[in-house]
Amino acid sequence: MQWPGLDSENVLSAVAGTGAQVAVAVKAYAPISLPALHDAGGMASVVVVGMGASAAAGDVLQSFAAPRCGVPVVVVSSASLPSFVGPRTLVLAVSFSGTTRATLAATSAALEAGASVVAVTGAGPLASLAAGAGAPVIGPPPGLPAVSRGRSALGATVVPLLLVCDQLGLLRDVRPHLAATVAQLARRSAELSGGSGISAHLAQLLGRTIPLIHGASGLGAVAARRWKTQVNENAKTPAFSGVQPDVCHNEVCGFGQNGDVTRQVLTLVNLRTGLEDERLAAGFELFSELTSETLARVLDVEGKGEGDLARFFDLVMIGDFVSLHLAAREGIDPGPVPTMAELELRVASGA
């Protein structure tokens, strides 16, 4: 089957190659050289600074580390740092372009506070700022797809964050999880790249309805936000995300009225890893039961693979392909994001 529609930035190839991207990154960053941090033991906290897709990579690290890391991991998507940042903080400054203003400001503040900084970025002001301060700079691995905003580079961005924490002793046994991720993505890509499979089916069921995507707290919630932003940017259509069990305390109450409207426009998508505890699993089922009559339909999607990281990335790949199918069905080029470009131009000009 040939993919219909436009793809001027070759997003399809980048999405299909996510597993290879992770594998290349693992090889390129083995081992990561962190000479400036060899004597920087006793870290009390980790802070990831980044915006957009870079912040999403930080969210993956935060969620993966939560049950495994002995210190808190915080993601900051602004120019301001938490007051606790200091000499015992590892700051991972992430920017695909290296020009993100808020990330540059936060990195400068981290250096002034005496934090141990590692920059994950391409050539640009962020790399220069970090290198000028003697901080390690981790560039993109070879062959990384040049897709706008780095949104197709999530795998390659997550890998160095995980491996830095592994090398510094903040995380353990990261590489087996990455190997399982590469294996599962290879299987999923082989299924989806021809234009059929679960993603094509889900896109057909979604049609022109608006996805309301739920994931369990942790990596499931990160996957739900990823689906939302990929549908927004690739398909240029609205999408919303929520987190279990929080949606059972507020969002579920919002379907008491206007069911005749929501039934026409909203489709609930439950992202499952199969690793949720019984209470979380029950939350998905109860929310679906209580709202199903006010929704176009309810779709359940379960990630596969060995371990939570592999299942997370499996859900990510399924969702990325869904967004491409939605774009193709409407003849939309998934690559360019002119609305975002206009917004940033107007913000920069003060308009």
pLDDT of residue 340: 81
Q: How many CA atoms lie within 13 A of 189 on its CB side?
A: 17
List for the chain the helix, strand, coil content (%; round to 5).
Answer: 50, 15, 35
| 8 A C-beta contact, residue 28 and residue 120 | no
Which residue type occupies 36? A
pLDDT of residue 345: 81
Give the tens place of pLDDT for each residue, 45-85.
999 999 999 999 999 999 999 999 999 999 999 999 999 99
Token pair recorded at residue 263: 């039934």
| 8 A C-beta contact, residue 152 and residue 134 | no
DSSP letters along 128-159, please? HHHHHTT--EEPPPTT----GGGTT-HHHHHH
Rounded to whole angstroms, the Cα distance separating 144 from 37 reads: 27
Token pair recorded at residue 127: 């790399």
- The separation between the first and the last C-alpha atoms of the chain, rounded to the nearest angstrom, is 46
- Per-residue tens of pLDDT for the chain, all 351 residues: 456 668 998 899 999 999 999 999 999 998 887 876 755 458 999 999 999 999 999 999 999 999 999 999 999 999 999 999 999 999 999 998 899 999 999 999 999 999 999 999 988 999 999 999 999 999 988 877 655 457 888 999 999 999 999 999 999 999 999 999 999 999 999 999 999 999 999 999 999 999 999 999 999 999 999 999 999 999 999 999 999 999 999 999 999 999 999 999 999 999 999 999 999 999 999 999 999 999 999 999 999 999 999 999 999 999 999 999 999 999 999 998 888 878 878 877 776
| 8 A C-beta contact, residue 116 and residue 40 | yes
| 8 A C-beta contact, residue 61 and residue 68 | no
pLDDT of residue 204: 97
Give the tens place of pLDDT for each residue, 241-253.
999 999 999 999 9
Token pair recorded at residue 72: 């808190």
Rounded to whole angstroms, the Cα distance separating 212 from 234 reads: 16
**Edge-to-edge strands, sheet with 297-302:** 240-244, 210-216, 266-272, 297-302
**DSSP structural state of residue 80:** P
Q: Is 115 helix (H, G, I), strand (E, B) or coil?
A: coil
Rounded to whole angstroms, the Cα distance separating 295 from 291 reads: 7
| 8 A C-beta contact, residue 141 and residue 24 | yes
Q: Exposed, middle or buried by CB within 10 Å (0-12, 13-18, 19+), for 11? A: buried
| 8 A C-beta contact, residue 34 and residue 164 | yes
CB atoms inside a 10 Å sphere around CB 346: 10
Domains of the chain and any CATH numbers: 11-181 (3.40.50.10490), 197-329 (3.40.50.10490)
Distances (CA, A) of 5 to 122, 324, 326: 31, 10, 10
Which residue type occupies 88? R
Q: What angle do CA 80, 82, 85 make, to 5 degrees?
A: 110
pLDDT of residue 351: 61
| 8 A C-beta contact, residue 228 and residue 239 | yes
Among 72, 287, 271, 252, CA closest to 165? 72
| 8 A C-beta contact, residue 33 and residue 136 | yes
| 8 A C-beta contact, residue 200 and residue 100 | no
pTM, full prediction: 0.95
Q: Is 18 helix (H, G, I), strand (E, B) or coil?
A: helix
Token pair recorded at residue 44: 């009390």
pLDDT of residue 38: 57
